[in-house]
């Protein structure tokens, strides 16, 4: 097995279930899921799962426990907090669910029988004047169908008992229709708006929007901007509760920064200068949007607070246009003016960027994965699993990038063979007692699907060939999640949409799979293997990642939140 030389590997210094910002870190031995893919590095691992094991996850002892109906599609990953005191309802473990119908639910995470109704529910709609955004009213074709409201996974700060969420609405006053994007800060216990919440990010229609960067002619147009990446909360010097980073794709890609304590707008970064290119060069599709979306991921942060945003197809010049690039962004205070700027301090762009743009192979179709820090000469690495580039550079399918010196254009070490792409599915990381793995569930462009594969990471490097794979194939790929008790009892959880992504919305139930993390060929369970539809989930959505915590698996669908766990499960 050929490897690229790296230095020795250590476990992530940041727990998979610690809050994104330092002030809100959870007490020791309390398990919470507070951000998308469990941590700011997007490892998608829960290392404190002592209930679910490869020995007890099977069709006779594990299955669907209950469901909660919801009023819209759940693209955001469910979040989880232990021991929340709900006014007049006692203390509960709570799972938080956001829908495209602009609602946020707090459900009892343990029982639909004892608490069949939401512990609380908040809606940002006021029919008929305030509605969700019809997908056809946004930019381009319908990517999220039929209503777009809350897509990005919220983020939670336990220090202030706050859930942050971005919602989009279509609002009518008389004959005037406008589109509004707001940032809300909700109380975890009641759903009430916190002080200073909500704040309007922008309101407008068509190409009319808001000037977020001083002196720039490019505006943020809320009708066309879709906020898909999970919200990112980062510990930042000078900010008591950290800084919120929000990503958008539409008319250009945007990253916005807000003070998490006050919701004060700090700075914005735009990934492309639209004025510079009024039409695409010959042979290039689109108009250079370079959106930040990453299949619901899109942005990560390392333990030092550096923020990484990855962009989709777009123009690139390394100055004002950053298509198909990973950007290391810094928030900087101008002491003389008292204002902040958000700008790249380093970047990586694959050498086949122009070709990618010409054939629509977004680098930023998945979330970057930050690997554990290491000693040696190259201690800090990042994995990027984009859409397949076999029609451009067949040797550069999955990228390993040095975060300390990102290499600019073509500075990558590339992996080949194995799973050749991510394509709207983000990889995950886990270390057993003997090996370290990257699990990648990239999709295939044809109808055959791709297996979920694992690559190994060691002091010798990252394997170019997969070390193991699942027997079954995932038609549209999958973004896996890992549960384990430290380095033992590892389980890989994966969701499978079994029908074409062109069917909007999908009609078939999403299928939950579980595999032994050290032997992917061993399938422990899937929700379609039982008789009489005992474990059937709701119809599938895109971008969904299962949340695995405290012996249960939470799966968002088009119509319900499905909850799986250990049970007496009659066939």
In CATH, what number is assigned to the domain containing residue 377? Answer: 2.130.10.10
pLDDT score, position 347: 96
| 61-70, 210-219, 274-283, 348-357: segment of lowest average pLDDT | 274-283
pLDDT score, position 20: 37
Residue ranges making up the domain that contains 242: 3-566
Distance CA 103, CA 101 (A): 6
The residue among 248, 306, 313 whose CA lies nearest residue 285 is 313
* pLDDT 10s digits, 487-519: 999 999 999 998 888 788 889 999 999 999 999
* pLDDT 10s digits, 472-483: 999 989 999 999
* pLDDT 10s digits, 296-345: 998 999 988 899 999 998 889 999 999 999 999 999 999 898 899 999 99
**pLDDT confidence band for 448 (50 / 70 / 90):** confident
Residue 4 has pLDDT above 50, yes or no: no
Residue 168 has pLDDT above 90, yes or no: yes
Give the C-alpha distances (Å, rounded to integers) separating 47 from 15, 179, 318, 374, 478.
8, 41, 39, 19, 20
Cα R_g (the chain), whole angstroms: 22
Distance CA 109, CA 102 (A): 21
Q: Which two tokens stand for residue 223?
A: 């009708």
pLDDT score, position 416: 47
Overall number of domains in the chain: 1
Residue 59 covered by a domain: yes
Q: Which two tokens stand for residue 482?
A: 């890992």
Angle at the Cα of 165 (from 161 to 167), degrees rounded to 5? 150
pLDDT score, position 285: 41
Residue 571 covered by a domain: no
Residue 168 covered by a domain: yes
Q: How many CB atoms lie within 10 A of CB 315?
A: 26
- Count CA within 13 A, CB hemisphere, residue 12: 33
As a whole number, the mean pLDDT across the chain is: 87
Residue 136 covered by a domain: yes
pLDDT top residue among 530 and 207:
207
| 254-258, 274-278, 521-525: segment of lowest average pLDDT | 274-278
Residue 284 has pLDDT above 90, yes or no: no
* pLDDT 10s digits, 358-410: 888 889 989 899 988 766 677 788 988 888 766 776 665 788 888 999 999 98
Give the C-alpha distances (Å, rounded to integers) separating 442 from 451, 532, 568.
8, 31, 34
Residue 380 covered by a domain: yes
Residue 175 has pLDDT above 90, yes or no: yes
Residue 182 covered by a domain: yes
Residue 494 covered by a domain: yes
- Count CA within 13 A, CB hemisphere, residue 340: 20
Provide the b/e sequence for 170-179 (b: ≥16 CB within 10 Å).
bbeeeeeebb
pLDDT score, position 394: 64
pLDDT score, position 348: 95
pLDDT score, position 380: 85
* pLDDT 10s digits, 407-446: 999 876 655 444 456 778 899 999 999 999 999 998 766 5
Q: Which two tokens stand for residue 534?
A: 């005992």
Q: Peptide bond preceding 392: is omega within 30 degrees of 0, i.e. cis?
A: no
% pLDDT > 90, the chain: 63
The residue among 60, 53, 59 whose CA lies nearest residue 516 is 53
Residue 137 has pLDDT above 60, yes or no: yes
Distance CA 418, CA 58 (A): 28
pLDDT score, position 245: 98
Give the C-alpha distances (Å, rounded to integers) separating 491 from 15, 58, 193, 236, 514.
17, 12, 38, 34, 6
β 199-204/265-270 pair status: unpaired
* 62 burial via Cβ count (<10 Å: 0-12, 13-18, 19+): buried
Q: Are 76 and 97 in contact, with CB atoms under 8 Å apart?
A: yes
| 57-61, 251-255, 460-464: segment of lowest average pLDDT | 460-464
The residue among 466, 460, 468 whose CA lies nearest residue 519 is 468
- Count CA within 13 A, CB hemisphere, residue 372: 25
The residue among 375, 390, 482 whose CA lies nearest residue 439 is 482
pLDDT top residue among 351 and 232:
232
Residue 514 covered by a domain: yes
Beta bridge partner(s), residue 349: 409
Provide the b/e sequence for 237-252 (b: ≥16 CB within 10 Å).
eebebbbbbbbbbbbb
């Amino acid at each position: 097995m050929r490897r690229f030389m790296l230095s020795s590997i250590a476990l992530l210094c940041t727990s998979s279930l610690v809050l994104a910002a330092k002030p809100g870190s959870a007490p020791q031995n309390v398990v919470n899921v507070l951000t998308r893919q469990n941590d700011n590095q997007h490892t998608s691992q829960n290392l404190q799962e002592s209930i679910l094991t490869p020995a007890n996850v099977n069709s006779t002892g594990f299955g669907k426990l209950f469901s909660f109906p919801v009023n819209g599609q759940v693209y955001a990953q469910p979040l989880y907090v232990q021991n929340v005191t709900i006014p007049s309802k006692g203390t509960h473990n709570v799972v938080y669910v956001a829908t495209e119908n602009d609602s946020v639910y707090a459900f009892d995470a343990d029982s639909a029988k004892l608490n069949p109704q939401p512990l609380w529910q908040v809606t940002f709609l006021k029919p008929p004047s305030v509605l969700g955004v019809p997908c056809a009213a946004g930019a381009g074709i319908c990517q999220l169908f039929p209503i777009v409201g809350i897509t990005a996974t919220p983020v939670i700060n336990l220090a202030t008992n706050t859930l942050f969420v971005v919602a989009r609405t279509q609002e009518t006053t008389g004959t005037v229709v406008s589109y509004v994007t707001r940032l809300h800060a909700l109380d975890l216990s009641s759903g009430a708006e916190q002080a200073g919440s909500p704040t309007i990010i922008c309101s407008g229609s068509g190409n009319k929007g808001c000037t977020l960067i001083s002196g720039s002619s490019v505006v943020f147009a809320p009708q066309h901007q879709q906020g898909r990446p999970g919200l990112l909360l980062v510990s930042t010097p000078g900010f008591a509760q950290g800084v919120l980073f929000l990503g958008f794709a539409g008319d250009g890609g945007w990253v916005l920064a807000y003070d998490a304590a006050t919701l004060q707008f700090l700075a914005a970064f735009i990934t492309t200068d639209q004025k510079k290119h009024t039409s695409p060069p010959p042979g290039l599709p689109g108009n250079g949007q370079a959106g930040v979306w990453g299949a619901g991921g899109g942005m990560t942060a390392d333990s030092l607070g550096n923020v990484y945003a990855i962009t989709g197809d777009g123009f690139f010049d390394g100055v004002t246009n950053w298509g198909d690039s990973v950007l290391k962004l810094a928030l900087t205070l101008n002491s003389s003016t008292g204002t902040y700027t958000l700008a790249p301090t380093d970047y990586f762009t694959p050498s086949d960027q122009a070709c990618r743009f010409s054939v629509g192979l977004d680098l930023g179709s998945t979330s970057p994965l930050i690997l554990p820090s290491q000693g040696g000469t190259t201690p800090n690495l990042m994995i990027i699993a984009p859409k397949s580039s076999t029609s451009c550079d067949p040797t550069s399918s999955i990228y390993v990038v040095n975060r300390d010196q990102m290499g600019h254009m073509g500075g990558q070490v590339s992996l080949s063979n194995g799973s050749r792409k991510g394509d709207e599915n983000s990889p995950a990381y886990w270390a057993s007692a003997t090996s370290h793995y990257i699990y990648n569930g990239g999709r295939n462009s044809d109808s055959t699907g791709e297996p979920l594969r694992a690559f190994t990471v060691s002091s010798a490097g990252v394997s170019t060939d997969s070390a193991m794979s699942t027997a079954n194939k995932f038609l549209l790929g999958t973004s896996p999640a890992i549960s384990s008790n430290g380095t033992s009892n590892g389980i890989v959880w994966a969701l499978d949409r079994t029908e074409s992504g062109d069917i909007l919305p999908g009609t078939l139930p999403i299928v939950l799979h579980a595999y032994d993390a050290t032997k992917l060929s061993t399938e422990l369970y899937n929700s379609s293997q039982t008789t009489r539809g005992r474990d059937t989930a709701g119809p599938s959505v895109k971008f969904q990642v299962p949340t695995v915590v405290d012996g249960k698996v939470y799966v968002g669908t088009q119509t319900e939140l499905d909850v799986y766990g250990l049970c007496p499960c009659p066939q």
